[in-house]
């Protein structure tokens, strides 16, 4: 029986269910604001944008914020100098201006209703931030506390091409639970042990699903699959790019690029960042210095990204920067992590101001 794991809940009860979890979880849901949908913290009485296609800004910002304070510091005495900087952990710092940041460090996360492509993107970010060589404690601390409840995609957009990248509207990778919108009801399928425990804990809200519910879900997913028209043949893309570093093709594809970085900022798998110290020099030159170390998203599409202190820049033009973006996702990451770092969400295509289409770039890569 396929429906053995499926549970069902009336859609109109979901807000009350979330309401019952607000003490236990820091909940993020898709919310409409000024015509855009964005994942935002759930507040009592707030409604969910059930019918959204996908958000412009990816939910990666929940676990990997656009700016994040790593720690605070202030001048302190040391054996070498009486003005050396002493780091202060976030928890101990006074005068933090980031209440959300502090709250997020001490609570569980419930990321509710993200699309399966974005859930898969989290599993790719896990390889970057939680790999064998490097462990990013800032990301991992939040990730380990996160329950990801995805929502199968029933309205793919013309720019979606997840099926070319081993994805599909009901892809389960990265999700603890996947939900299906059956209009009046929501069907839930636990994927991981964490997902099973989550549904079990909430069992009083759910009923066992009927065979007819699962059949309805199957029909919706079939329909959704048919709506994904974009197909890109990315077979052997890594091998095709292996010897392509000096190919003349790179002279063409960057020509329209403005270097705005939108494609990388909106991408759910892009993960480059910069770290800076923001100094608050206090009341005057003689006052003790204090400040904070902040990391913020950066982009390989910016000229300063690789500018050396000597003035040399190994990626001086749009050509080298565009090549880096493509090679990183489709050649270097497959080499290092055995994964293509694109989930086919189409954000970079939909939002590029000069209509550079990643699918067209991928199709035209043929150096045989």
Residue 61: CA count within 13 A, CB half-sphere? 20
CA distance 19 to 184: 19
Instruction: Quote the least distance from Cβ 365 to ligand SF4, whole Å.
Output: 14
Instruction: Quote the least distance from Cβ 116 to ligand SF4, whole Å.
Output: 12
Interface residue with ligand SF4 among 111, 228, 234, 343 (CB under 6 A) is 343
Helix (H, G, I), strand (E, B) or coil at 110: strand
CA distance 150 to 170: 9
Window 185 to 214, contacts with ligand SF4 (CB under 6 A):
none
Q: With contact defined as beta carbons under 8 Å apart, do 147 and 111 qualify?
A: yes
Residues contacting residue 77 through CB under 8 Å, at least 6 positions apart: 84
Q: With contact defined as beta carbons under 8 Å apart, do 277 and 292 qualify?
A: yes
Nearer to ligand SF4, 154 or 164 (CB): 164
363 binds ligand SF4 (CB under 6 A): no
Interface residue with ligand SF4 among 131, 288, 316, 353 (CB under 6 A) is 353
Q: With contact defined as beta carbons under 8 Å apart, do 122 and 62 qualify?
A: no
66 secondary structure, DSSP code: S
48 secondary structure, DSSP code: P
Which helix (DSSP H) or strand (DSSP E) does residue 197 occupy? helix 193-201
Instruction: Quote the least distance from Cβ 350 to ligand SF4, whole Å.
Output: 9
Instruction: Quote the least distance from Cβ 51 to ligand SF4, whole Å.
Output: 21
Helix (H, G, I), strand (E, B) or coil at 349: helix
| Both structure tokens of 289 | 């210095």
Nearer to ligand SF4, 151 or 358 (CB): 358
Window 269 to 288, contacts with ligand SF4 (CB under 6 A):
269
Nearer to ligand SF4, 31 or 165 (CB): 165
How many other CB atoms are found less than 10 A from the CB of residue 232?
Answer: 18
Closest CA to 31 of 55, 65, 5, 14: 55
Nearer to ligand SF4, 113 or 344 (CB): 344
Closest CA to 361 of 268, 232, 236: 232
Residue span binding ligand SF4 (CB under 6 A) among the ranges 87-95, 147-155, 272-280, 336-344: 336-344
Instruction: Quote the least distance from Cβ 362 to ligand SF4, whole Å.
Output: 10
Nearer to ligand SF4, 173 or 196 (CB): 173
Site for ligand SF4 (CB under 6 A): how many residues? 25
Instruction: Quote the least distance from Cβ 270 to ligand SF4, whole Å.
Output: 6
Compose the 233-272 pattern: x for residues touching ligand SF4 by CB under 6 A, - for all others: ------------------------xxxxxxx--xxxx---
304 binds ligand SF4 (CB under 6 A): no
Instruction: Quote the least distance from Cβ 268 to ligand SF4, whole Å.
Output: 6
Nearer to ligand SF4, 13 or 56 (CB): 56
Nearer to ligand SF4, 27 or 362 (CB): 362
Interface residue with ligand SF4 among 8, 119, 220, 352 (CB under 6 A) is 352
Closest CA to 296 of 275, 278, 280: 275
How many other CB atoms are found less than 10 A from the CB of residue 136?
Answer: 17
Instruction: Quote the least distance from Cβ 175 to ligand SF4, whole Å.
Output: 17
How many other CB atoms are found less than 10 A from the CB of residue 142?
Answer: 21
How many other CB atoms are found less than 10 A from the CB of residue 225?
Answer: 14
Q: With contact defined as beta carbons under 8 Å apart, do 367 and 247 qualify?
A: yes
345 binds ligand SF4 (CB under 6 A): yes
| Both structure tokens of 218 | 């199957």
Residue span binding ligand SF4 (CB under 6 A) among the ranges 199-207, 224-232, 331-339, 350-358: 350-358
The footprint of ligand SF4 (CB under 6 A) covers 257-263, 266-269, 301, 329, 342-348, 352-354, 356, 358
């Amino acid at each position: 029986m396929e429906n053995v794991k499926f549970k069902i809940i009336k859609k109109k009860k979901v807000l009350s269910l979330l309401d019952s979890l607000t003490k236990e979880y820091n909940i993020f849901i898709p919310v409409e604001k000024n015509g855009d949908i964005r994942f935002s913290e759930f507040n009592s009485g707030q409604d969910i944008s059930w019918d959204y296609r996908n958000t412009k800004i990816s939910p990666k910002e929940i676990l990997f914020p656009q700016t994040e304070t790593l720690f605070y510091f202030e001048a302190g005495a040391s054996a070498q100098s009486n003005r050396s900087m002493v780091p202060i952990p976030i928890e101990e710092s006074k005068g933090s201006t980031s209440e959300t940041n502090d709250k997020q460090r001490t609570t569980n996360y419930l990321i509710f209703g993200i699309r399966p492509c974005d859930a898969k993107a989290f599993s790719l970010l896990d390889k970057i931030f939680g790999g064998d060589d490097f462990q990013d404690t800032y990301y991992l601390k939040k990730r380990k506390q996160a329950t990801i409840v995805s929502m199968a995609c029933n309205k793919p957009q013309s720019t979606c091409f997840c099926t070319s990248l081993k994805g599909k509207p009901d892809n389960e990778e990265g999700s603890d639970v996947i939900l299906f919108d059956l209009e009046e009801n929501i069907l839930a399928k636990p994927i991981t042990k964490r997902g099973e425990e989550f549904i079990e804990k909430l069992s009083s809200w759910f009923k066992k699903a009927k065979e007819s519910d699962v059949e309805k879900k199957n029909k919706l997913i079939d329909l959704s699959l048919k709506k994904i028209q974009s197909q890109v043949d990315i077979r052997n893309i890594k091998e095709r790019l292996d010897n392509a570093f000096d190919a003349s093709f790179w002279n063409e594809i960057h020509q329209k690029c403005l270097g705005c970085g939108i494609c990388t900022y909106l991408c759910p798998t892009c993960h480059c960042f910069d770290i800076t110290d923001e100094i608050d020099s206090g009341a005057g030159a003689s006052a003790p210095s204090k400040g904070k170390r902040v990391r913020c998203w950066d982009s390989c599409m910016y000229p300063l990204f690789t500018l050396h202190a000597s003035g040399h820049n190994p990626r001086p033009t749009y050509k080298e920067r565009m090549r880096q973006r493509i090679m990183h996702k489709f050649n270097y990451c497959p080499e290092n992590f055995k994964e293509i770092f694109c989930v086919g969400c189409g954000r970079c295509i939909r939002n590029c101001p000069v209509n550079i289409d990643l699918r067209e770039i991928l199709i035209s890569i043929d150096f045989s």
